[in-house]
Amino acid sequence: GRPLGPHPALLNVLERRLDEALGATGGRTPMDRADVTVLLVGRGSTDPDANAEVYKAARLLWEGRGYAGVETAFVSLAAPDVPSGLDRCVALGARRIVVLPYFLFTGILPDRVQQQTEGWAAAHPEVEVRSAEVIGPEPELLDLVMERYEEAVKGDLRMNCDSCVYRIALPGFEDKVGLPQQPHFHPDDDGHHHHGHHHGAHSHAH
């Protein structure tokens, strides 16, 4: 079946973990988050496609939520590692960073993220660094797991369009839900190649 991927339900839980790490009481506004840079830390893999999924999650987490930026790092097998990711955040001007582990559960690797974060923070006292908790077994994620399970059992394997703005209300793009989709062209297209999306029959053309 399809992977959980950066599904809106998962992104919402990540956002909640960030609010908890920042000590928010209630919802935070984009203005509150304007000085917060997030470092999303994935497991790391020798498979470039698996690593790319973490970058996709980082981009979607950034969209419409008001953070100064969402950077990416990995705890093993892939670069950049956590200290390098934190260095990059600072190079981009960050003075307030939340390290967000992209893990469902606690374990050796999330513990390593925490240790590396603490070590880096001790060497950079001029930067405020906080650590968020792992994703954890939230109710909406249990629903998502069941949805994926039922798809696999029924053989209903669909394109992974969980984060398409025409299907799901993503922050800042709510007005696009349900609209007919138009092909979109890129400046370097030669006039023949285009990307088309049509969700009526739920098909993608590239």
What per-residue confidence (pLDDT) applies to 61?
96
How would CATH label the architecture of 8-131?
A: 3-Layer(aba) Sandwich (3.40)
- The answer to which of 29-43, 44-58, 76-90 has the lowest mean pLDDT is 29-43
**CA angle centred on 11, ends 7 and 15, rounded to 5°:** 170
Q: Is the peptide bond before 180 cis (omega within 30 degrees of 0)?
A: no
* List of residues 6+ apart from 45 with CB closer than 8 A: 51, 74, 77, 78
**pLDDT tens profile 108-137:** 999 999 999 999 999 999 999 999 999 998
Query: According to CATH, where is 3.40.50.1400 located in the chain?
Result: 8-131
Q: Which amino acid is at 52?
A: A
Q: Model pTM?
A: 0.72
Q: What is the pLDDT of residue 1?
A: 43
CA distances from 126 to 4, 84, 120, 168 (A): 37, 17, 11, 40
CA atoms in the 13 A half-sphere facing the CB of 189: 11
With a pLDDT cut of 70, the percent of the chain lying above it is 69
